[in-house]
C-alpha cells in the first residue's frame, strides 16, 4: 500500500470563547491516499469545515490544538509536520502550495475590486518564480480548461461580472493552477443550481484524473458524495463516527447516525417511502453528551453503556470503521 498523502492523527481542536473552551473537533483520525477523493459528511456544526481548515492552519486565532494532534503531509518523499509550521513563509507549502481550497460561496472568496486574472497571477507569482507573462499564460489556460468561454476576455473581468457557476469554475481554475497535491473543496456545489452542480461535479471528476490529485470533499449532501467520493467519513458533533468506502457507507451504513441521515433523505426511486428525521437537535458543543456523543438522539440506544462509555473504533475485514457500542458488542457475542 502506498503511503498516504496526508495523515490526520488524533486531531483535537478547541476554541477559546467567552463561555469557556468549546470542543469543535474531537480525536479525529483519517488518511487520504494520493489520487483519492475522501468525502466528509455531516450536519452543520459537526466540525467538517474546522477539520478541513486545520489542514491549512486556517482556523481563527482563538483555536487551541491539543498537543497530541498530528497532521503529517508527505510531499516529494518529505514528511511535513503541518501543525509545527508557525511562520507564514513556512505555511506557504500548505496554503496554496501542496494544498488548495475552494469555498462554498464563490462571491465571497474573490476580492471584488481586483480582476479575476490579477488574483490568479498573484498567487502563481507567490508560489513560484515564473514571470508575469508566463503566469498569465497559465491562468488563461486554466480558465479555458475549466470551461470558461473566451478566457482571455474573462481574465480581465471582475467577480461580479461572472455568474455563480462561472465563479465556481474560476475558483477551481485558481485553486488548481499551482498544481496542488490536495484540493479541499468545502461545499463547492451547495450554492449552485442542480444543473450547474452536475456540470461542476463532472468537471471536478475530470480534473482529479488529469492532475492525479487528492480531494477532501466536504458536503452535507449524500447524493453528491455518492457521485464523487471513493471513501466517506461521517462526522457528528466533532467526532468521526464512521469511515469506509462509498459503497460500504451508503449501501451498508454501520452507525445509527449514518442510517438516520440516509433515512431522512427524500429518494426519487421510492416516492412513498416516509421521511424519517433523526429525532431531536444536535446538542450544543458547549454541552457535549457523555459517553457516545450521539446517544441523546440515537434510536438504537442499547442502555447505560452508551451514556457512560466512549465507544472504540472497530474495523471489519474490509476496513469499514465505526465508533459504536452496537458494533463492538456484536463482535463479542
Partner 1 sequence: MSNDVLIRADGLSVHFPLRGFMFGERPVVRACEGINIEIEKGSFFGLVGESGSGKTTLGRAMLKAAPISKGEVIYSDDEVTYNLATLEGAELKDYRKRSQLIFQDPYAALSPRMTVRDIIAEPLEVMGLTSNRDETDARVREIAAMCRLNLEHLRRFPHAFSGGQRQRISIARALVSGPRFIVADESVAALDVSIQADVLNLLNKIQADSGITFLFISHDLSVIAHTCDFVAVMYLGQIVESAPTRKLFSETSHPYTRALLSAIPSLDPDVRGHAQRLEGEIPSPINPPPGCRFNTRCPHAQERCRSEVPEWREMSSKHHVACHFAEELA
By CB under 8 A, name the binding residues for partner 1: 43-44, 163-166, 193-199, 201-202, 205, 220-224, 226-227, 246-247, 250-251, 260-268, 271, 274-278, 281-282
Task: Give the cell for residue 230.
Answer: 471513493
Nearer to partner 1, 97 or 253 (CB): 253
**243: Cα within 13 Å, side-chain hemisphere:** 16
Least distance in Å: CB of 298 to partner 1? 13
Least distance in Å: CB of 37 to partner 1? 12
Least distance in Å: CB of 8 to partner 1? 24
Nearer to partner 1, 3 or 264 (CB): 264
CB 29, CB 9: distance < 8 Å? yes
Give Cα 45 distance to the centre of its chain: 14
261's CB contacts (< 8 A; 6+ apart) are 41, 222, 234, 278
147's CB contacts (< 8 A; 6+ apart) are 169, 199, 203
Least distance in Å: CB of 217 to partner 1? 12
Nearer to partner 1, 31 or 221 (CB): 221
3 state DSSP class of 88: helix
Nearer to partner 1, 276 or 309 (CB): 276
Nearer to partner 1, 103 or 123 (CB): 103
Nearer to partner 1, 82 or 292 (CB): 292
Least distance in Å: CB of 90 to partner 1? 37
Least distance in Å: CB of 9 to partner 1? 28
3 state DSSP class of 98: coil
254 CB neighbour count, 10 Å cutoff: 23
Q: Which residues pair with 6 in a beta bridge?
A: 32, 73
CB 105, CB 190: distance < 8 Å? no
Amino acid at each position: 500500500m502506498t503511503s498516504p498523502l496526508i495523515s490526520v492523527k488524533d486531531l483535537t481542536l478547541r476554541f477559546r470563547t467567552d463561555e469557556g473552551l468549546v470542543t469543535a473537533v474531537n480525536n479525529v483520525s483519517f488518511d487520504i491516499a494520493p489520487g483519492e477523493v475522501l468525502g466528509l459528511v455531516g450536519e452543520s456544526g459537526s466540525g467538517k469545515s474546522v477539520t478541513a481548515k486545520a489542514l491549512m492552519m486556517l482556523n481563527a486565532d482563538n483555536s487551541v490544538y491539543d498537543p497530541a494532534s498530528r497532521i503529517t503531509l508527505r510531499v516529494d518523499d518529505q514528511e511535513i509536520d503541518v501543525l509545527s509550521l508557525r511562520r507564514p513563509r513556512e505555511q506557504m507549502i500548505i496554503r496554496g502550495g501542496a494544498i488548495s481550497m475552494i469555498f462554498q460561496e464563490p462571491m465571497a472568496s474573490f476580492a471584488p475590486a481586483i480582476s479575476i486574472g490579477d488574483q490568479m497571477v498573484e498567487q502563481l507569482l507567490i508560489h513560484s518564480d515564473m514571470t508575469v507573462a508566463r503566469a498569465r499564460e497559465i491562468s488563461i489556460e486554466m480558465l479555458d480548461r475549466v470551461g470558461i468561454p473566451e478566457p482571455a476576455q474573462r481574465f480581465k473581468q471582475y467577480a461580479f461580472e461572472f455568474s455563480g457557476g462561472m465563479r465556481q469554475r474560476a475558483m477551481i481554475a485558481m485553486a488548481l493552477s499551482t498544481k496542488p497535491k490536495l484540493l479541499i473543496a468545502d461545499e463547492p456545489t451547495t450554492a449552485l443550481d442542480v444543473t450547474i452542480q452536475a456540470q461542476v461535479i463532472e468537471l471536478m471528476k475530470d480534473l482529479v484524473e488529469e492532475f492525479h490529485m487528492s480531494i477532501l470533499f466536504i458536503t452535507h449532501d449524500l447524493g453528491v458524495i455518492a457521485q464523487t467520493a471513493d471513501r466517506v467519513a461521517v462526522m457528528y458533533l466533532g467526532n468521526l463516527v464512521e469511515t469506509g468506502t462509498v459503497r460500504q457507507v451508503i449501501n451498508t451504513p454501520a452507525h445509527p447516525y449514518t442510517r438516520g441521515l440516509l433515512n431522512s433523505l427524500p429518494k426519487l426511486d421510492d416516492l412513498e417511502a416516509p421521511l424519517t428525521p433523526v429525532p431531536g437537535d444536535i446538542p450544543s458543543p458547549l454541552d457535549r453528551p457523555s459517553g457516545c456523543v450521539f446517544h441523546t438522539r440515537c434510536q438504537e440506544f442499547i442502555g447505560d453503556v452508551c451514556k457512560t462509555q466512549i465507544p472504540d473504533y472497530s474495523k471489519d475485514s474490509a476496513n469499514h470503521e465505526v465508533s459504536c457500542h452496537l458494533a463492538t458488542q456484536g463482535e463479542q457475542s
